[in-house]
Amino acid sequence: MALGRFQQAEFAADLWQVYLDDKNCADEYRDPKEFFHRTYLTEGLKDLLTNALIRLSGKGGDPVIELQTNFGGGKTHAMLALYHLCFGVSAKDLPGCETIFTETGIDNPPKDVKTAVLVGNKIDPGTPELKKDGTVVKTLWGEIAWQLGGKEGYAMLAEADENSTNPGDKLKELFNRYSPCLILIDEWVAYARQLHYEKDLPGGDFDTHFTFAQTLSESAKNADNTLLVVSIPASDIEIGGDRGKQALERLKNAIGRVESPWRPATAEESFHIVRRRLFQDITDPNLFTARDTVIRAFSQMYRDQKTEFPAECREKDYERRIRDAYPIHPELFERLYEDWSSLDKFQRTRGVLRLMAKVISYLWQENDKNLMILPANVPMADSQVQSELTRYLDDNWLPIIDKDVDGTNSLPVDLDRQHSNLGRYSACRRVTRTIYMGSAPLQKAANKGLDIRRIKLGCTQPGENVATFGDALRRLTNQATYLYVDSSDRYWIDTQPNVTRTAIDRATQYREDQTWDEIIRRLKQDKETGDFAGVHIAPSSSSDIPDESTMGVRLVLLHPNLTHSSKVDNSNALIEAKQILDTKGSAPRYCKNLLIFLALDGSKQENLFQRINEFLAWDSIVTDKEVLNLNPFQNKQATAKLKDADNTVKMLLQDTYQWLLVPDQPEPTGDIEWEEYRLQGKDSPVLQASRKLVNEEHLIITYAAARLTLEILNDYVWKNSNHIDLKTLWKYLTNYLYLPRLKNEQILSNAIAEGVANLLWNENFAYANGYDETKQKYLGLEVGKHITPTMSSSSLLVKPDVAQQQIEEDTSLELGSRARDVREERLAQATSSPVLSSTSNGSNNGNQTIVPPSQPTIRPALDQEQSLTPTQKKKRRFYGSVELNSLRLIGDVQQIADEVVQHLTSLKNAKVKVTLEIEAEEEGGIPDSVIRTVSENCRTLKFKSQEFEEE
């Protein structure tokens, strides 16, 4: 669509200029053909022209038409259309009017129409006007008579004009004499409000004038082929004070009896009006194709991203509206006709034309490549456009535009420069332009501003990332001085600065130590400890952290001024961590294996500090609300901002304290190395650290007895000693970084209890309550039973083979002692055993008497040897074999141990040997990997023999 005459500064000529054929008036207003070529005929205008043709042709029609709209609503343009219709040109020279002539059945406009044009603000009621033929005219009725009939016409009303009195029925005679007649009166109220109640003006007094108005409307109704069209203002700016209001009321009462109202252009018809005036019609088929492609792109974008834009954008009717408004987007028209047209000074049609002409001119000169003109494309930094947008508003809008909307050094421009993703689209500038267009004219509205979806509608072209404009809006909300947002997420620009600027100013005034104190305060509010025995928050020196073996593993959150970055060996956080690990104040630190450190990320520290300062600023504003004299909305805004700032800081603390620094020593004689881990989570940094350390086994919360044996006792203890006391063992675990880092003493205690209670204790260790140096014996030696270890220097873990040797020796001595006890008991029993005795009464009859023995004592088999008769041999050996289920191996072994082995090992001198035989057969052959694994494990477990055989 090619550009039309957008360079034209004014878009509505004065009716008086056209009537007088003023050479300063553009041809499109003076020439009927050009006028209708540039005019879009709305339904209201069609009805007006149709009625005029019918009335002036003597076929009926309404005799009096009242044109009443808001300022700039098209009243003068409608009168110009009537004037040119009756100018005397043929129908073929009136483009666009074909349907009017067809519908009325009238081939051409009526000929020789006498026209009278009165523009109230061009006529002075206090000064008679001398016409070129020498006639002196004093009143409006005199003016009408002279324009219709010259000197002859004026003579018919000369007396009434000279005396400034109502002409009465002579008006009807005048109209019939010169019919068909067209009387156009514009700005009548502007004329009438100048009149007085006294008869001191040539134009007549106030009352007489409105008597004339009634006579005029009645005469037009009763005369032949006469049409009276009067414009009536609807806005206060045109009415002009109390006298104007009174004049309007009297005028409406005077002509209201016979007038027919006129229907002004609708908002959608206004699209066509502006487009017709500013752009030439499309005739090239390629341009039609290009237009339709653009329309489809916009419609598809609104359908695909339905949650980002207002609901009506998805409807088919909206696509039609885009087509009707092209290349200006309907959203821009809506803002102009719904919002800006509500201003008294803004002319509904003329104002839009003036503004859009300057907008289009600027975009054309800048070779703008946007597909359609959106609110975001209105270049408010351009002086001419800015003038159009501020001429209807208070003067204080100019600095606001320069600062927060579209100035060369404005905040939006600065943000676009700082952030490449925003600068790519000039996103911040486009957002503020859109908000300005939708909020500047509605400062006194109850529900002002735009919601975020309508802002995105006013900004986004197809192919652009909608989320970018949301990001821009968020940044602007946090920094703009005049941008407001309410609880329903409606945004607007106001003339009063919001409290954001106060917050920004205050945020820059906080010292670093105040920022650090707030961070430390927040860290101390976190009561989470995870699996740590304790958490130290920002210690001021290494002496603040105790060095005690009983305290368990602790996490140190380094001071906020200390940061770390990935693979940086000399970060100030790592330097501080090393210093704390080495010393406690001026003394060396011993319990190094109980400390882990957490530090801020260096790249995120500055952002955290800024957000902390913003929180402090909002907190101070809410506290000082009475001192600052905040209004209810500002107070509400400050409270909301404080809450947002608080949530932001909480999230940033979780994200910024993210470097775990873990001291480690892979080899006992090697150097200390530092492992670093980056935390990633959305909860307490302490909990994040705890989970990470447990997962990486830098913090052990459950420890098996087998690991205690393999990782510590076998490698570091049994090589040099047969036992170790628990206090020393725990001391080793807390002091040496090459040993596992157990959470606390209880973890070690649990592992010891598990190992001693295990059936296979001899693979782990035994437990004793002390050691008798004189007897070279362990006191209270415990194996294969549940115990509660005591973490003291007298509680010992004993090497399993040493413990086994002592148990065997003790068992042998006990069995020998028991054997002696049994022999003594048997001897005692022998003296009381039953005997065969004989009695005789002098005759040898051989009678015998059996004396019953005493009842034998029954004892457990574990407490005494079996009673044997002298002729019975002792059973000295036991051998048994059983086939075990490989799937229930552990359970079966436990049962055999309890039911068989335990009874045998309880004998004093018994030597019990348990042998496990394993026989496996795999028809497909045993894989090499299994052979290697089993062979190696058998050697480690000290199998006496192991062999893989071929078939």
- pLDDT tier, 673 (very low <50, low <70, confident <90, very high otherwise): very high
Give the DSSP H or E segment for 149.
Answer: helix 140-156
Mean pLDDT over residues 848-852, rounded? Answer: 32
Q: Are 474 and 644 in contact, with CB atoms under 8 Å apart? A: no
Comparison of pLDDT for 577 and 80, the residue scoring more? 577
3-state secondary structure of 125: coil
pLDDT of residue 593: 96
Q: Any idea which of 274-278, 285-289, 542-546 has the lowest mean pLDDT? A: 274-278
Mean pLDDT over residues 298-311, rounded? Answer: 94
Mean pLDDT over residues 206-221, rounded? Answer: 88
Whole-number Å distance between alpha carbons of 188 and 210: 11
Phi/psi of residue 236, nearest 5 degrees: -60, -35
Q: Are 172 and 222 in contact, with CB atoms under 8 Å apart? A: yes
The single-letter DSSP state of residue 201 is S
Residue 859 clears pLDDT 70, i.e. is over it = no
Among 187-191, 386-390, 810-814, top mean pLDDT goes to: 386-390
Residue 163's CB is within 10 A of a number of other CB atoms, namely: 14
Residue 654's CB is within 10 A of a number of other CB atoms, namely: 19
Mean pLDDT of the chain: 84
- pLDDT tier, 349 (very low <50, low <70, confident <90, very high otherwise): confident
H-assigned helices in 279-349: 285-304, 316-325, 330-334
Nearest residue to 354 via CA among 430, 280, 268, 277: 277
Mean pLDDT over residues 101-111, rounded? Answer: 84
Comparison of pLDDT for 225 and 888, the residue scoring more? 225
- pLDDT tier, 21 (very low <50, low <70, confident <90, very high otherwise): low
Q: What is the DSSP string of 253-283?
A: HHHTTTEEE-----HHHHHHHHHHHHBPPP-
Tell how far CA 792 is from the center of its chain: 57
pLDDT of residue 863: 37
Nearest residue to 149 via CA among 190, 121, 112, 119: 112
pLDDT of residue 551: 87
Q: Any idea which of 27-36, 170-179, 479-488, 566-575 has the lowest mean pLDDT? A: 27-36
Residue 858 clears pLDDT 90, i.e. is over it = no
pLDDT of residue 853: 33
Residue 847 clears pLDDT 50, i.e. is over it = no
Comparison of pLDDT for 892 and 132, the residue scoring more? 132
- pLDDT tier, 28 (very low <50, low <70, confident <90, very high otherwise): confident
Per-residue pLDDT tens digits for 808-817: 888 777 666 6
Mean pLDDT over residues 535-563, rounded? Answer: 94
- pLDDT tier, 896 (very low <50, low <70, confident <90, very high otherwise): confident
Would the pTM of this model clear 0.75, i.e. be above it? no
- Paired with 587 in beta bridges are 584
Could you give the percent of the chain with pLDDT greater than 90? 46
pLDDT of residue 697: 94
Whole-number Å distance between alpha carbons of 779 and 723: 12
Q: Any idea which of 164-168, 539-543, 608-612, 910-914 has the lowest mean pLDDT? A: 910-914
Nearest residue to 330 via CA among 441, 461, 452, 458: 458
pLDDT of residue 69: 62
Whole-number Å distance between alpha carbons of 264 and 341: 14
Per-residue pLDDT tens digits for 407-423: 888 999 999 999 999 99
Whole-number Å distance between alpha carbons of 539 and 577: 11
- pLDDT tier, 857 (very low <50, low <70, confident <90, very high otherwise): very low
Helices and strands in the chain, H and E counts: 39, 25
Residue 822 clears pLDDT 80, i.e. is over it = no
Assigned token pair, 175:
């109209």
Residue 490 clears pLDDT 70, i.e. is over it = yes
Q: Any idea which of 43-57, 520-534, 585-599, 668-682 has the lowest mean pLDDT? A: 43-57
- pLDDT tier, 87 (very low <50, low <70, confident <90, very high otherwise): confident
Whole-number Å distance between alpha carbons of 332 and 378: 9
